[in-house]
Structure 1
């Protein structure tokens, strides 16, 4: 695994495109994304205002909890917000759940990324390229990417 060029969160027109799924969810069309994307509703750590972000589901389900990765690292606003206030709401498809956000260890993140790559090899390769990582497709490479990115498990419950 090689770091080619780590990118920050999108800005300008790219940010608008990244935010488009939030509006799709707001229109009540979350089912279009199936179980691959979730709408995360959380509170801003400074303002206390409600915020929303659509993030990819890396694994899990409604019983064990959903896994997500902060592709833009520990500085992503949603990631910092859920660490500050872990009681949030997610919506996967049309199902809304109150959950508690729990950060994973580096090793748990490594295994989550390797498992994701086994299930979705093309998506994993494209995602890594988008995030600035050059991978050779091996489980070891995906584990190394997983160690460098923060993962969160959203566990069902009050």
Structure 2
């Protein structure tokens, strides 16, 4: 298998007890315990593009800018994740960060912005960045260049609060 094959293979969504473990944060948000996650997770409400039903997903926050406010998240299962495709179809939505709801608009970041975001994330949270890359089957050697390359392959989404400016420039996370 070549490096190109490895880069395009995305992880399969978990099943069994792993799926249950990943769904636990959603259950905690539903019971009002979202603030337990601090600034690490948010609850994304999105509308199913086929079913038109309300859906919810808990996502890890890669970066948060309280001045805008905006939240940047990564599509760990790639651009075919249901929440990602649903946001492509309907980018205006709601999130819950802690116990506060926010109306947001999704902005899909270009690969170069993703490279900068991933390099910054790796500097601030090296273990988490390595785990994200390993989960997505993206090779990293721990150097900034390898995290930048991984960031180009990971779809990043900036959720900008309604009425707030969105800046897709690198380094603005």
Question: TM-score, structure 2 length as denominator?
Answer: 0.85
Question: What does residue 59 of structure 1 align with?
Answer: 63
Q: Hey, which bits of structure 1, 4+ residues long, moved more than 6 A?
A: none
Work out whether residues 10 and 78 of structure 2, in 8 Å CA contact, stay in contact via their aligned partners in 1.
Answer: no
Q: Which secondary structure state, in structure 2, belongs to the residue aligned with residue 35 of structure 1?
A: coil
Question: What does residue 51 of structure 2 align with?
Answer: 47
Which of 87, 90, 95 is matched with 1:85 structurally?
90
Distance 2:112 2:10 in 1: 21
Work out whether residues 90 and 96 of structure 1, in 8 Å CA contact, stay in contact via their aligned partners in 2.
Answer: yes
State which structure, 1 or 2, has the greater radius of gyration over its C-alpha atoms: 2
Question: What does residue 110 of structure 1 align with?
Answer: 115
Distance 1:77 1:59 in 2: 22
Question: What does residue 170 of structure 2 align with?
Answer: none
Distance 1:117 1:95 in 2: 28
Looking at secondary structure, tell me which structure has more strand per residue.
Answer: 1
Distance 1:54 1:88 in 2: 14
Q: Please tell me whether residue 37 in structure 1 is matched to residue 52 in structure 2.
A: no
Instruction: Name which of structure 1's ranges 76-85 and 125-134 shifts more when overlaid on structure 2.
Output: 125-134
Question: TM-score, structure 1 length as denominator?
Answer: 0.93
The two structures, once aligned, show a CA RMSD in angstroms of: 1.5
Instruction: Name which of structure 1's ranges 88-97 and 7-16 shifts more when overlaid on structure 2.
Output: 7-16
Q: Please tell me whether residue 137 in structure 1 is matched to residue 124 in structure 2.
A: no
Q: Which is bigger in relative contact order (C-alpha 8 A, separation at least 6)?
A: 1
Q: How many residues matched?
A: 157
CA shift, 1:133, in A, is 2.1
Question: What does residue 123 of structure 1 align with?
Answer: 128
Instruction: Name which of structure 1's ranges 30-39 and 88-97 shifts more when overlaid on structure 2.
Output: 88-97
